[in-house]
Amino acid sequence: MGLFAYLKNKFSGKKENPKAVETTEKYQKGLAKSRAAFWDRLEDLSKRYAMVDASYFDELEQILIEADVGVEWTMDLLQKLMEKAKEEGLTDPKKVNEELVDLMFVDYVESGDSVVNDLSFTPGKTTVLLMEGVNGVGKTTTIAKLAHRYQQQGKRVLLAAADTFRAGAVEQLKIWADRLHCPIVTGPSNGDPASVCFDAARYAKEHQIDLLIVDTAGRLQNKKNLMDELSKMQRVLGKEIEGAPQEVFLVIDATTGQNGIVQAKAFQDVFRLTGIVVTKMDGTSKGGIIFAIRSELGVPVRFIGLGEKMDDLQEFDLDEYLHALLLGGEKSDA
């Protein structure tokens, strides 16, 4: 059974559950641009060709690269696709497109373990989540959304403003903490972020906090001293709370190009990332970065930002994602 049949099947049975329908709608809305730039273009392409030839694959290449799925991965994928088409004598453009999407799906699934994207909690112990990323990807906003999400689930959440560097960063998180009625630990501006972590860990232990989310200053991955600083923060947290930070998320802006993978690799080299959060997905047509990261790193995308509202940060769900990317805009599931 092909991917399309699988998705259609899965989503046609889903209509009963209002919560699930809402999720599906969020994905469809947030990925509308990506869908137009990816699947709609593939469809148009298949209509222009009676049968596939070399120039068809050239056009496929353009579509994939323009979706920021990565040059190497695109080349790799097309190679496989051409071989398969040759082997099975596929010449129908529509079939070839579906084969391509199948290959993408298989590659995604095989590139890493399947994980539970939601955070896990141990009763009586603080789960520490360290948020990292380069400048301007939306770390602070994502933290607010995550805090909101887990508060909704009845968790006691604490924020730590360890971005002591950027002007206004602490204030920004404070405002969020205020709005969310969430406790926050801060330090002096330009102070040592590790000492903020220390204070926050202490506070968390004393106040039975379920989830401590640590905001860090944006840093470009090629600045060694700043990367060292992050390692120190991790050590301090681990000393105070055994096994902390249990989760280390890298936040990546969906509008980032090939450097997204470079970033993920650099952070992964230093910090054992446990997940990726892709932000600003609704603003770009380039959802392809999700595939590139997975294929290159095997680090799972855990959350995905589909809009600006608090609950627009969604747990990443591959089926929802593919459904929205491939079938999302269809009038009906038929």
Partner 1 sequence: MAFESLSEKFTGIFKKMRRQTTLTETNMEEAIREIRIALLEADVNYKVVKAFTQDVKEKALGQEVLKKVDPSQQLIKICYDELVALLGADDTAISFNKNGPTIFLMVGLQGTGKTTTAGKLALWLKNKGHKVLLGALDVYRPAAIDQLTTIASQIGVDCFSLGTNVNPVDAAVMAVEKAKAEGYQDLILDTAGRLQIDESLMQELTDIQTKVQPQETLLLVDAMAGQDAVNVANAFHAKLRLTGVVLSKMDGDAKGGAALSVKYLTGIPIKFVGVGEKMTDLDAFHPDRMANRILGMGDVVTLVEKAQAVMDEKTAEKEAKKMMEGEFTLEDMLKQMKSVQKIGSLGAIAKLIPGMPKLTEEQQESAEKRMKDFETIVNSMTPYERRHPDTLKFSHKSRIAKGSGKTNADVNRVIRQWEKSKEMMKQMKQYQKSGKMPPRGGF
Residues of this chain that interact with partner 1 (CB under 8 A) are 33, 62, 65-68, 71-72, 75, 134-138, 166-172, 174-176, 220-222, 224-225, 253, 255-263, 265, 280, 282-286, 289
Q: Which is nearer to partner 1, 128 or 148 (CB)?
A: 148
Q: Which is nearer to partner 1, 43 or 308 (CB)?
A: 308
Q: How many CA atoms lie within 13 A of 63 on its CB side?
A: 24
Q: Which is nearer to partner 1, 97 or 263 (CB)?
A: 263
Q: β-strands 313-315, 301-305: how paired?
A: antiparallel
The answer to whether 154 and 209 are in contact (CB under 8 A) is: no
Q: What is the closest distance, in whole angstroms, from the C-beta atom of residue 167 to partner 1 in the complex?
A: 4
CB 110: neighbour CB atoms within 10 A? 10
Q: What are phi and psi of 21, to 5 degrees?
A: -65, -40
Q: Which is nearer to partner 1, 155 or 174 (CB)?
A: 174
Distance (Å, whole) CA 110 – CA 301: 14
Distance (Å, whole) CA 166 – CA 223: 16
Q: Which is nearer to partner 1, 247 or 253 (CB)?
A: 253
Q: What is the closest distance, in whole angstroms, from the C-beta atom of residue 17 to partner 1 in the complex?
A: 30
Q: What is the closest distance, in whole angstroms, from the C-beta atom of residue 279 to partner 1 in the complex?
A: 9
Distance (Å, whole) CA 56 – CA 46: 9
Q: What is the closest distance, in whole angstroms, from the C-beta atom of residue 11 to partner 1 in the complex?
A: 26
Q: What is the closest distance, in whole angstroms, from the C-beta atom of residue 42 to partner 1 in the complex?
A: 15
Distance (Å, whole) CA 231 – CA 235: 6
CB 206: neighbour CB atoms within 10 A? 8
Q: Which is nearer to partner 1, 221 or 314 (CB)?
A: 221
Q: What is the closest distance, in whole angstroms, from the C-beta atom of residue 277 to partner 1 in the complex?
A: 14
Distance (Å, whole) CA 22 – CA 142: 20
Q: What is the CA radius of gyration of the chain?
A: 21
